[in-house]
Structures are given as structure tokens and as C-alpha cells.
Amino acid sequence: MELVNGSYAIQNVNALDICAQFGTPVYVYDAEKIVNQLRNLKMAFSGADLKIKYAAKALTNISVLKLLRKHGAGIDVVSIQEAHLALKAGYTAGEIMFTPNCAEYEELVEGAKAGLMLNIDNLPHLKRFGEQFGNTYPCCLRLNPHIMAGGNLKISTGHSNSKFGISVYQIPQIMEIVDQHKINVTGLHIHTGSEISEADVFIKMAEIFFSVAREFKDLRFIDFGSGFKVAYQDGDAVTNVYDLGLKLTKAFTEFCEQYGRKLELWIEPGKYIVSDAGNLLVKTTVVKSTPSVTFIGVNSGLNHLIRPMMYDAYHSIINVSNPEGPQKTYTVVGYICETDTIGADRKINEVTEGDILAIRNAGAYGFSMASNYNSRLRPAEVMVINGEAKLIRERETLGDLLKNQVEINL
């Protein structure tokens, strides 16, 4: 969203016109930005045999999935339901990496029946997989490198107390199971978390990875996950993907030479691809002054964007209706009956009731984590593509809340 001639627009489509057409609250995604981020990654890793597996959990709208597939991205899914969405979006089974965590073993079996690449992250399921499939079905192993990355335990997944992956200290147990059942391990996977800005973290992870990889003789790929940091406010440190691409490609190429053949390098970006492309447009319901704080109430909340309350995440907030007014200090809150702060003590151009605010950088883990808490309805989703705003998800209705409820006679 850019300020052009005094008005905010996405691909020259006026943001206020989008609200007038589709109502509020509404998630709006810029398709051009999504595609550009994908291109940036391809260029950054141009020296490697790169496969990008978009992390679907960031934003699962089927139109977004189709857009990414059209422009050459594969996909990583974490539930069998996400796998079915990917198949519906046109992905072939071979393009889908399936990485469930603490799910029922039967999901892995269903994934195998569908032909997905299975990413197994615990020893009990690896053992059951070996007993059932032996060497007849290839798989990937998710490892925990015991690296704290990202600076926040809620989003770090590779530290010693994380539930994700099989500990690198359990390699002897892994090899015992693999050898016993002759399991066909064709890939290794590590994902240490989100918000990682330093390329050196990935290089440190790679060193651990490569030492383990030498134990497996039939690898086809190594998957480094993602966690690339994006900017949520001015001055934020971000991942320099071009620096990372050069360093990681160099290290990976050297490993492949030692390993004896060229492997594919996989990454699984989600937030990096869609975060900055998304805005949540909301309407001001009230401007409420107290002796200490001036609150802006809006017709949305943690039910639509839980990241500020769940992760203490920062999202920039702008007044789309009054982009050039004097700035005042506000705390923006939602309409949920909980402490529901979207942004505290923010400098925002003067706000009056009815103004449209944009919550920026909301493309990742926004709608995909939305709920019906307080029996509130989830918003519409719109994609701006080729200079046109298109509805890609209808706003929920009361009927949607009731359709799966079963009334009983009392």
C-alpha cells in the first residue's frame, strides 16, 4: 500500500474504494508483492538447485496458493487438510512436502496414500513408518539442531526444549530404526524458527546438518526451512536473503562435492513471501478518551489478528482516511471482550469515528489464525491482481456460525 497523490492505494486501486466495495474488516493482499518476493528468493539462491516450498500455514487461501504455484513455488503443509487444499489448488503430490507435528500417525499414512513427501519428526512414528513401509516409500526426517534462533521461545523451534523434530543427539536411535527397516531416507529437514535476521545462524545450522547428512547415503535434498525476518516497523533488522543465498549456496556446494553428488537445496518461506503483501483494513468504531489514554476502537480484534496479543508482535497502523492530518498518540484496541490491544501508544494521523485504518504487514498468520471468538464473523479476503481488486473469500455470515451446530430437544 502506497501513498499516491494524497491517497493510499494498492496497484493504483484506492484502499477506500476497496472498503466501500467489500466492506470492513477486510484482508487485502497485493499479488504483485507476493510474486516479487518469490522472485527475490530465486535470484538470491540462483547458484543452487533451489526448490521453494511455500509454508502454507502462513496464508492458506486457495487463490494465493494457485498464484504461487503459477510462479514456480512448491508447497509445505503441516496438516492433511492443508495437503488437500494444496491438491485442490493444483499442486501435484510430488510438489507437496508434508510436515505434521504431534499429529496422529494415520495422517502420515493418508499422506503416503496421496503420494506426498513425508517429513517425519519423531522416533515413534519413524518406527511405525518403517514397520509399515520399509524401503517402499521415501521419506524425509525433521531434525532438531538444538540452536536457539529468533529471540523468542514462542517462535523458535530448534532449541533443546522444542517439541519439533528429532534431536541431533538421537542420531544413533534414528540410524538403528532406519537400518532395521531399511527406510528410504531421501531428505533431511531443519527449521529453527522465525524472525532470524543473521545469515550466520543458517550457516551454523548447515554445519550441523552436513555432519549428520553424511550418515545417509541416498539423499536427494536438504531442506533448511526458513524463518527469514521481515520488517514490521522502520529500522527493523531483516534477513539479507542475497547475502544468505551466497553464503549458504557456497557452503552447500562444498558439501555436495564432499558428498559425491549434487543435491537439491530446499527452503520453506511463508512470512517472507506474504507478510508485507497483506493489510487488514478496519473501521474506527469509537475514539474514547480517558485521563491517561486515548483509545481507538475498531471493528476487528484478536479474533482476526492474534499476533499482537499472542506474540507481542508489532504491526504498523496508519489512518487511510486522513493520511496528512496532525499526528496524535493513540492506543488501538479491538472489539473483543478481552484485553485486545492491537497497538499501544502509536503516533497516528488524527482519527475520527468512521475512519479506515490499515494494520500493515498482516499477510502472514493473520487470516490463517483467525477465529470466531465472541461469535464474531471472520472477514472477507481480497486480492489486488493486475490492477483489479478481486474477492477471494466471502465474509462470514451468522449462518456460517450455526451450520455445524446441532440443536437438541430439551
19, 102, 139, 337: the active-site residue: 337
Of residues 169 and 147, which shows the higher confidence score? 169
Distances in whole angstroms, Cα of residue 263 to Cα of each of 54, 207, 218, 253 = 19, 16, 10, 9
Q: Is the predicted pLDDT of residue 133 greater than 50, yes or no?
A: yes
Multiple choice CATH, 32-274, 3.30.70.100, 1.10.10.10, 3.40.50.300, 3.20.20.10 = 3.20.20.10
Q: Is the predicted pLDDT of residue 158 greater than 50, yes or no?
A: no
Q: How confident is the model at residue 196 (pLDDT cuts 50, 70, 90)?
A: low
Write down the pLDDT at residue 161. 67
Q: What share of the chain has pLDDT > 90, as a percent? A: 85
Residue carrying the nine cell digits 491517561: 292
φ, ψ at 289 (rounded to 5°): -95, 135
The rounded distance, in Å, linking the Cα atoms of 175 and 193 is: 26
The rounded distance, in Å, linking the Cα atoms of 224 and 188 is: 9
Exposure string for 95-127, b = 16+ CB within 10 A, e = fewer: bbbbbbeebeeebbbebbeeebbbbbbbeebbb
Helix (H) or strand (E) holding 129: helix 123-133
Helix (H) or strand (E) holding 253: helix 241-259
pLDDT in tens, 300-319: 999 999 999 999 999 999 99
- Find the mean pLDDT for residues 248-268: 95
pLDDT in tens, 45-57: 999 999 999 999 9
pLDDT in tens, 277-300: 999 999 999 999 999 999 999 999
Q: How confident is the model at residue 154 (pLDDT cuts 50, 70, 90)?
A: very low
Q: What share of the chain has pLDDT > 70, as a percent? A: 95
Is 256 considered catalytic here? no
Q: Is the predicted pLDDT of residue 3 greater than 50, yes or no?
A: yes
pLDDT in tens, 163-191: 878 998 999 999 999 999 999 999 999 87
- Find the mean pLDDT for residues 325-349: 97
The rounded distance, in Å, linking the Cα atoms of 337 and 175 is: 51
Ranges of each domain in the chain: 2-23+278-362+364-402, 32-274
Domain 2-23+278-362+364-402 belongs to what topology? Lyase, Ornithine Decarboxylase; Chain A, domain 1 (2.40.37)
Write down the pLDDT at residue 194. 54
